[in-house]
Chains A and B, each alone.
Chain A
Amino acid sequence: MILPLSVSLLLMFFGAPLFAVICGLTLILLFSVGIDSSALIIEMYRMATTPILVAIPLFTFAGYLLSESGAPRRLIRLSDAILGWLPGGLSIIALVSCAIFTALTGATGLTIIALGGILFPAMLKGGYSEKFSLGLLTTSGTLGLLFPPSLPLIIYAIVAKVRIDQLFVAGVLPGTLLVILLSSYSIYKASVSGVPRKRFNLIEVLSALKGMAWELPLPIVVLGGIYSGYFAVSEAAAITAVYVLLIEVVIYQDIKWRELPKVMRKSMVLVGGILIILGAALGLTNYLIDEEVPMKIMEFIRGHITSPFLFLVVLNLFLLAVGCIMGTFSALIVVIPLIPPIAQAYGIDPIHIGIITLANLEIGASIPPLGINLFISSIRFEKTVLRLYWASLPFIGVLLFALAIITYLPWLSLALLK
């Protein structure tokens, strides 16, 4: 039992595909408790056919189209024109657009796939170091989870029985804090490392705007379409795919029709790599639930800790680990039901604990060794996972600092409610 488990883990460090390692572990664990191996397949199938995940292939395809087109070049020109005078201007654009996108797509790291391909080359060309750009885009893969109408917020409200409109409002300040702290860090880094700055030039701004005249309306089309009831949040992906296809292939003609199969293949190889890992992770989660592991940990915490202060420390560590190992969606289903009753026992506001939980899951997705954002970045930017661990560390530091503020300053979550 111990031997095959450690062999699988060792093989992971020798470069065995991660999905094979997780599946191997799961198969051994299932065998040890006498559950049929097809339980793993049930979970993989469940993952691949989850309605919310329909967005993955569509956003991925759209993201690859954008990155293979002239859009990154046009974006860097525009952001240079508008914010080139501000140190770190482009990185702030990147952070804000990642946050908006994640609020729309949920938290599967889709942001990295869809926006990474356009922002990464733009940041490199804009003079940012590769390490900085990788770290920023990786940790921003789930940034924005706290902004409405993000699906994790909705699921939390339903599962934990708190008012969704209150939770929507409560997320705004903590979510903004995360964006502001990351932006400040980026401005600092950009000015220290001498990212080139430009003088503001209105004519250049206007002509850059004209250059992107077809791409800029995309977020307005998507957000406007959702808020005026033309389509559902989960349909944003289809709209985006069709819109991007139309502008890049028909209008700008940056991509020829006959090049489309190649783009499709590239993007779907990525989708396959991600779906199979998410499926394997859900399979492992199924074993953990069957053995009631998360429940036992929470029971242990409840039995051994009396101080609310200490409880929040332990809760944060537990949730970060959960966000890292399970990924946001399985964590939402498995862990959230356990938290509100316990938090209530320590006298913590249910809305505040909800924001803490979601902030943890948001950050946990970027934490080594298993945070899904790291893997998605690895495959999207074709860098080793080790390199991404290293690049993300400073950003994770900033995020953990923000997490501490969010956790111990309930005012931030509750101020707008009063």
Chain B
Amino acid sequence: ERNLTIKLATLAPEGSSWMKAFNQLNSEVMKKTENRVQFRIYPGGVLGDEMDMLRKMKIGQIQGAALTSGGLSSLFREMDVLQVPFLFQNYEEVDTVLKKMDPFFRKGFEESGYILLGWSEAGFIYLMSILPVASVADLKKAKVWIWEESPMSKAIFDEAGVKAIPLSVPDVLVGLQTGLVDVVYAPPTGAISLQWFTRVKYLTDVPLAYLAGGILVKKDTFRQISPSYQDSIIEIFQRHLDQLKAVTRNENREAIKVMTKQGVKIITPSKDQVEEFKRLSNKAMGHISGQSFSRKVWEDVNSLLEGHRKGGR
């Protein structure tokens, strides 16, 4: 039996908790498989963005990638549903939905030729701004950055009729300083590493959207691993990624604290204001076209959430 090195690309930088998790799980995989299987990680986006990773997986230069919502949904469209703005209120809801929908998503990835080794996440995205934003009306007064790769959030800004400013990510920091944009959005850890926190004054404490993450490997590569090891590799991945999820959530909480220390004010919208955001989102999702998730998945996710909210309270 041949030894197998699986090349895996990620945007997560060297030294991040992602890379620590990868290194740990890699040594565990090597131990478990007696060095027959190992992962070689390419961190920090050195092999390109998620689209480039997908292309390189397709031609076999790499066999795996850690992808976030954008990359995942280009492999399986239905993943888009998790990105619907104001869908989730807390991480408990995310975990409930993902647990129930896991077999469905796995099957979807497998049908396009990929095996999901485990879920992880970038976390909730928050609105951060120069002007305070608590309501849809506040949003309408502001110049809102739109990120080309976040079509769901873009849809609701379109719906709200706000001044939407498309900018590439490196332009945002200077844009915030010069007043080209007033409102941006990112996971708190992202706002720290992109240094946006040095320019924004407010953070709106309602999750705008959820950025999922997943590690995928090409099916034909995975099938080369002897079947006795396949399940344990998935188990090792999911265990380490679950730990990583806890770390990431903690880092996002810490990031908000760092921002507060920096003088960023936390704005908590009222219940009515949150409801208004949600109505806006639902209306926007009503005319998202065929390129995205199906009606059925939308209803499934909503009924899971309703069930959870009723049961949870």
So, do A and B actually touch in the complex, CB under 8 Å? yes
- A interface residues with partner B (beta carbon < 8 Å): 35-36, 38-39, 42, 46, 51-52, 149, 151, 154-155, 157-159, 161, 163-165, 226-234, 286, 289-290, 292, 333-334, 337-338, 341
Q: CB-nearest residue of chain B relative to A34?
A: B60
Enumerate chain A residues within 8 angstroms of B175, measured Cβ to Cβ. 229, 232
Enumerate chain A residues within 8 angstroms of B43, measured Cβ to Cβ. 337
A228: which of B15, B173, B178 is its contact (CB, 8 Å)? B178
Enumerate chain B residues within 8 angstroms of A158, measured Cβ to Cβ. 170, 193-195
Q: CB-nearest residue of chain B relative to A42?
A: B55
CB distance A164 to B46 under 8 Å?
no
Additional A-B contact list (15), CB under 8 Å, known A51-B168, A155-B170, A158-B193: A36-B60, A36-B61, A42-B59, A46-B48, A151-B170, A164-B173, A164-B198, A228-B178, A228-B179, A232-B167, A234-B167, A234-B168, A234-B170, A234-B171, A337-B13
A143 to B202, CA, bound (A): 37
CB distance B47 to A286 under 8 Å?
yes
A153 to B163, CA, bound (A): 29
> Considering the complex of A and B, which 10 residue pairs feature the smallest CB-CB distances, nearest first?
A229-B179, A229-B178, A51-B168, A36-B59, A232-B171, A229-B180, A337-B44, A164-B195, A337-B14, A35-B61
B77 close to A (CB within 8 Å): no
Enumerate chain B residues within 8 angstroms of A232, measured Cβ to Cβ. 167, 171, 174-175, 180
Q: CB-nearest residue of chain A relative to B62?
A: A290
A292 to B46, CA, bound (A): 10
Enumerate chain A residues within 8 angstroms of B207, measured Cβ to Cβ. none
A155 to B61, CA, bound (A): 26
CB distance A154 to B170 under 8 Å?
yes
A334: which of B7, B46, B55 is its contact (CB, 8 Å)? B46
Enumerate chain A residues within 8 angstroms of B59, measured Cβ to Cβ. 35-36, 38-39, 42
CB distance A42 to B60 under 8 Å?
no
Enumerate chain A residues within 8 angstroms of B178, measured Cβ to Cβ. 226-229
CB distance B173 to A35 under 8 Å?
no
CB distance B13 to A163 under 8 Å?
no
CB distance A159 to B61 under 8 Å?
no
B235 close to A (CB within 8 Å): no
Enumerate chain A residues within 8 angstroms of B40, measured Cβ to Cβ. 292
CB distance B198 to A163 under 8 Å?
yes
B56 close to A (CB within 8 Å): yes
Enumerate chain A residues within 8 angstroms of B179, measured Cβ to Cβ. 228-229
CB distance A163 to B170 under 8 Å?
no
CB distance B195 to A157 under 8 Å?
yes
